[in-house]
Amino acid sequence: MIDMHCHIIPNIDDGSQNITETLEMAKKASCLGYTGIYATPHYIENRHETDKIDIKNSVAVLNKMLKEKNISITIYEGNEIYICNELLEIVRDHKVCTLGKSKYILFELPFSGEVLNLKEIISELSHVGYIPILAHPERYEFISKDYKRVLPFIQEGALLQINLASITGYYGNKPKKCVEKLLKNNLVHFIGTDAHDSHSIYDIHEKALKLITKKTSDKKLHEILIDNPNNVLKDKSIN
Protein backbone atom coordinates (compact mmCIF):
# COMPACT_ATOMS: atom_id res chain seq x y z
CA MET A 1 0.00 0.00 0.00
CA ILE A 2 0.96 3.62 -0.52
CA ASP A 3 -0.46 6.35 1.71
CA MET A 4 -1.70 9.11 -0.57
CA HIS A 5 -1.93 11.85 2.04
CA CYS A 6 0.25 12.31 5.11
CA HIS A 7 1.78 15.21 7.04
CA ILE A 8 4.95 13.35 7.94
CA ILE A 9 7.67 15.95 7.27
CA PRO A 10 8.61 17.49 10.64
CA ASN A 11 8.35 21.17 11.55
CA ILE A 12 6.78 22.23 8.27
CA ASP A 13 3.05 22.59 8.96
CA ASP A 14 0.54 21.32 11.54
CA GLY A 15 1.76 17.75 11.13
CA SER A 16 4.74 16.02 12.73
CA GLN A 17 6.42 18.31 15.24
CA ASN A 18 9.83 16.64 15.33
CA ILE A 19 11.98 13.97 13.71
CA THR A 20 11.26 11.47 16.48
CA GLU A 21 7.55 11.64 15.72
CA THR A 22 8.21 11.40 11.99
CA LEU A 23 10.24 8.23 12.40
CA GLU A 24 7.54 6.74 14.62
CA MET A 25 4.91 7.54 11.98
CA ALA A 26 7.01 5.82 9.32
CA LYS A 27 7.61 2.81 11.55
CA LYS A 28 3.91 2.39 12.33
CA ALA A 29 2.96 2.81 8.67
CA SER A 30 5.48 0.16 7.67
CA CYS A 31 4.13 -2.25 10.29
CA LEU A 32 0.62 -1.70 8.91
CA GLY A 33 1.73 -2.77 5.43
CA TYR A 34 2.59 0.51 3.72
CA THR A 35 5.56 0.52 1.37
CA GLY A 36 5.36 4.21 0.55
CA ILE A 37 3.99 7.53 1.77
CA TYR A 38 3.31 10.68 -0.21
CA ALA A 39 4.42 13.52 2.05
CA THR A 40 1.81 16.22 1.56
CA PRO A 41 2.54 19.31 3.67
CA HIS A 42 0.03 22.12 3.40
CA TYR A 43 0.56 24.83 0.81
CA ILE A 44 -1.66 27.76 1.75
CA GLU A 45 -0.90 31.18 0.32
CA ASN A 46 0.40 33.64 2.92
CA ARG A 47 0.39 30.95 5.61
CA HIS A 48 2.23 27.77 4.60
CA GLU A 49 4.49 28.37 1.61
CA THR A 50 7.43 26.05 2.18
CA ASP A 51 9.77 26.17 -0.76
CA LYS A 52 9.55 23.20 -3.10
CA ILE A 53 13.32 22.65 -2.83
CA ASP A 54 13.05 22.41 0.96
CA ILE A 55 10.41 19.69 0.63
CA LYS A 56 12.57 17.76 -1.84
CA ASN A 57 15.58 18.02 0.49
CA SER A 58 13.52 16.97 3.51
CA VAL A 59 12.25 13.90 1.65
CA ALA A 60 15.78 12.95 0.63
CA VAL A 61 17.04 13.27 4.21
CA LEU A 62 14.10 11.27 5.58
CA ASN A 63 14.62 8.44 3.11
CA LYS A 64 18.29 8.26 4.05
CA MET A 65 17.41 8.08 7.75
CA LEU A 66 14.74 5.43 7.18
CA LYS A 67 17.23 3.28 5.29
CA GLU A 68 19.82 3.67 8.06
CA LYS A 69 17.25 2.64 10.68
CA ASN A 70 15.98 -0.31 8.57
CA ILE A 71 12.44 1.06 8.34
CA SER A 72 11.16 -0.39 5.08
CA ILE A 73 9.18 2.49 3.63
CA THR A 74 9.83 5.19 1.03
CA ILE A 75 8.71 8.81 1.27
CA TYR A 76 7.65 10.60 -1.93
CA GLU A 77 7.33 14.34 -2.34
CA GLY A 78 4.03 16.14 -2.62
CA ASN A 79 1.84 18.95 -1.30
CA GLU A 80 -1.73 19.44 -0.18
CA ILE A 81 -2.59 22.68 -1.94
CA TYR A 82 -5.36 24.91 -0.67
CA ILE A 83 -7.67 25.92 -3.51
CA CYS A 84 -7.30 29.39 -4.99
CA ASN A 85 -7.99 31.07 -8.31
CA GLU A 86 -4.27 30.98 -9.13
CA LEU A 87 -3.92 27.22 -8.57
CA LEU A 88 -2.84 26.52 -12.16
CA GLU A 89 -0.24 29.30 -12.05
CA ILE A 90 1.12 28.04 -8.72
CA VAL A 91 1.58 24.56 -10.17
CA ARG A 92 3.00 25.82 -13.47
CA ASP A 93 5.48 28.08 -11.67
CA HIS A 94 6.78 25.04 -9.74
CA LYS A 95 5.94 26.58 -6.36
CA VAL A 96 4.49 23.26 -5.19
CA CYS A 97 5.32 19.58 -5.47
CA THR A 98 3.21 17.28 -7.56
CA LEU A 99 2.83 13.76 -6.15
CA GLY A 100 6.02 11.82 -6.74
CA LYS A 101 7.05 14.19 -9.55
CA SER A 102 4.01 13.05 -11.56
CA LYS A 103 1.23 14.99 -13.26
CA TYR A 104 -1.02 14.36 -10.23
CA ILE A 105 -1.66 17.13 -7.70
CA LEU A 106 -3.48 16.94 -4.37
CA PHE A 107 -5.66 19.90 -3.41
CA GLU A 108 -8.16 20.77 -0.70
CA LEU A 109 -11.17 23.05 -0.22
CA PRO A 110 -12.61 25.10 2.66
CA PHE A 111 -14.57 22.81 5.00
CA SER A 112 -17.57 25.14 4.99
CA GLY A 113 -18.99 27.15 2.13
CA GLU A 114 -18.48 26.36 -1.53
CA VAL A 115 -15.96 27.33 -4.21
CA LEU A 116 -18.28 28.48 -6.98
CA ASN A 117 -15.72 28.20 -9.78
CA LEU A 118 -14.29 24.84 -8.66
CA LYS A 119 -15.42 23.07 -11.81
CA GLU A 120 -13.63 25.65 -13.95
CA ILE A 121 -10.40 25.40 -11.93
CA ILE A 122 -10.41 21.60 -12.30
CA SER A 123 -11.10 21.94 -16.02
CA GLU A 124 -8.16 24.34 -16.45
CA LEU A 125 -5.79 21.94 -14.71
CA SER A 126 -7.02 18.95 -16.69
CA HIS A 127 -6.83 20.81 -19.98
CA VAL A 128 -3.08 21.36 -19.65
CA GLY A 129 -2.33 17.80 -18.55
CA TYR A 130 -2.47 17.83 -14.76
CA ILE A 131 -4.67 15.40 -12.88
CA PRO A 132 -6.20 17.01 -9.78
CA ILE A 133 -6.99 14.82 -6.77
CA LEU A 134 -9.54 16.23 -4.36
CA ALA A 135 -8.48 15.51 -0.79
CA HIS A 136 -11.11 14.15 1.63
CA PRO A 137 -14.28 15.29 -0.23
CA GLU A 138 -16.44 13.73 2.50
CA ARG A 139 -15.28 16.41 4.95
CA TYR A 140 -16.61 19.35 2.94
CA GLU A 141 -20.00 20.50 4.11
CA PHE A 142 -21.62 20.86 0.68
CA ILE A 143 -20.49 17.37 -0.39
CA SER A 144 -21.30 15.65 2.90
CA LYS A 145 -24.88 16.87 2.45
CA ASP A 146 -25.09 15.39 -1.06
CA TYR A 147 -22.31 13.08 -2.27
CA LYS A 148 -23.49 13.46 -5.87
CA ARG A 149 -22.03 16.97 -5.88
CA VAL A 150 -18.68 15.33 -6.73
CA LEU A 151 -19.91 14.03 -10.08
CA PRO A 152 -19.29 17.22 -12.13
CA PHE A 153 -15.76 17.40 -10.72
CA ILE A 154 -15.01 13.81 -11.72
CA GLN A 155 -16.44 14.50 -15.17
CA GLU A 156 -13.98 17.39 -15.52
CA GLY A 157 -11.06 15.10 -14.69
CA ALA A 158 -10.73 15.15 -10.90
CA LEU A 159 -10.14 12.04 -8.80
CA LEU A 160 -11.18 11.54 -5.17
CA GLN A 161 -9.07 10.66 -2.12
CA ILE A 162 -11.01 9.76 1.01
CA ASN A 163 -9.56 9.77 4.50
CA LEU A 164 -9.20 6.33 6.04
CA ALA A 165 -10.60 7.38 9.43
CA SER A 166 -13.75 9.00 8.03
CA ILE A 167 -15.49 5.61 7.91
CA THR A 168 -15.14 5.30 11.70
CA GLY A 169 -16.89 8.60 12.44
CA TYR A 170 -13.58 10.20 13.43
CA TYR A 171 -14.60 13.46 11.71
CA GLY A 172 -18.30 13.16 12.56
CA ASN A 173 -21.38 11.32 11.35
CA LYS A 174 -21.94 13.29 8.13
CA PRO A 175 -18.47 12.53 6.67
CA LYS A 176 -18.96 8.90 7.75
CA LYS A 177 -22.25 8.56 5.87
CA CYS A 178 -20.85 10.42 2.87
CA VAL A 179 -17.77 8.22 2.55
CA GLU A 180 -19.97 5.11 2.76
CA LYS A 181 -22.00 6.39 -0.21
CA LEU A 182 -18.88 7.30 -2.17
CA LEU A 183 -17.52 3.78 -1.67
CA LYS A 184 -20.83 2.12 -2.46
CA ASN A 185 -21.09 4.04 -5.74
CA ASN A 186 -17.47 3.40 -6.80
CA LEU A 187 -16.52 7.08 -6.63
CA VAL A 188 -13.31 6.61 -4.63
CA HIS A 189 -9.91 6.50 -6.34
CA PHE A 190 -7.52 6.72 -3.38
CA ILE A 191 -7.33 6.37 0.40
CA GLY A 192 -5.05 8.44 2.60
CA THR A 193 -4.41 8.47 6.31
CA ASP A 194 -4.08 12.28 6.47
CA ALA A 195 -2.03 11.49 9.57
CA HIS A 196 -0.65 14.48 11.45
CA ASP A 197 0.96 12.57 14.32
CA SER A 198 2.13 9.10 15.33
CA HIS A 199 -0.93 7.86 17.18
CA SER A 200 -4.49 9.00 16.36
CA ILE A 201 -5.00 7.59 12.85
CA TYR A 202 -2.57 4.70 13.10
CA ASP A 203 -4.28 3.49 16.28
CA ILE A 204 -7.63 3.06 14.50
CA HIS A 205 -6.20 1.98 11.16
CA GLU A 206 -7.18 -1.70 11.46
CA LYS A 207 -10.74 -0.87 12.51
CA ALA A 208 -11.13 1.62 9.66
CA LEU A 209 -9.83 -0.77 7.02
CA LYS A 210 -12.24 -3.49 8.17
CA LEU A 211 -15.16 -1.08 7.86
CA ILE A 212 -14.06 0.01 4.38
CA THR A 213 -13.74 -3.64 3.33
CA LYS A 214 -17.43 -4.12 4.16
CA LYS A 215 -18.43 -1.25 1.87
CA THR A 216 -16.59 -2.23 -1.30
CA SER A 217 -15.35 -5.25 -3.25
CA ASP A 218 -11.93 -6.84 -2.81
CA LYS A 219 -11.09 -5.84 -6.38
CA LYS A 220 -12.00 -2.20 -5.79
CA LEU A 221 -10.12 -2.12 -2.49
CA HIS A 222 -6.98 -3.43 -4.19
CA GLU A 223 -7.40 -0.77 -6.86
CA ILE A 224 -7.68 2.18 -4.49
CA LEU A 225 -5.06 0.99 -2.01
CA ILE A 226 -2.43 -0.42 -4.36
CA ASP A 227 -3.05 -0.09 -8.10
CA ASN A 228 -4.00 3.58 -8.33
CA PRO A 229 -1.29 4.89 -5.96
CA ASN A 230 1.31 2.92 -7.92
CA ASN A 231 -0.03 4.34 -11.18
CA VAL A 232 0.52 7.81 -9.75
CA LEU A 233 4.07 6.86 -8.90
CA LYS A 234 4.59 5.63 -12.46
CA ASP A 235 2.79 8.70 -13.80
CA LYS A 236 0.24 6.52 -15.58
CA SER A 237 -3.37 7.50 -16.22
CA ILE A 238 -6.24 6.21 -14.11
CA ASN A 239 -9.70 5.58 -15.50
In a domain, residue 209? The reply is: yes
Other Cβ atoms within 10 Å of 140 Cβ, number:
23
Q: At 38, which helix (H) or strand (E)?
A: strand 36-39
In a domain, residue 103? The reply is: yes
Q: How many domains are there within the chain?
A: 1
In a domain, residue 169? The reply is: yes
In a domain, residue 201? The reply is: yes
Q: Supply the CATH number for residue 223's domain.
A: 3.20.20.140
Asked if 159 and 143 touch (Cβ cutoff 8 Å), the reply is: no
Walk along the chain (239 residues) and give the pLDDT tens digit of each residue: 999 999 999 999 989 999 999 999 999 999 999 999 999 999 998 788 788 999 999 999 999 999 999 999 999 999 999 999 999 999 999 999 999 999 999 999 999 999 999 999 999 999 999 999 999 999 999 999 999 999 999 999 999 999 999 999 999 999 999 999 999 999 999 999 999 999 989 999 999 999 999 999 999 999 999 999 999 999 999 87
In a domain, residue 238? The reply is: no
In a domain, residue 33? The reply is: yes
In a domain, residue 239? The reply is: no
Q: Which residues, in sequence order, are CB contacts of 117 under 8 Å at separation 6+?
A: 85
Q: Which domain holds residue 169?
A: 2-233
Give 82-126 as a DSSP string: EP-TTHHHHHHTT-S--GGGSSEEEEE--SSS--TTHHHHHHHHH
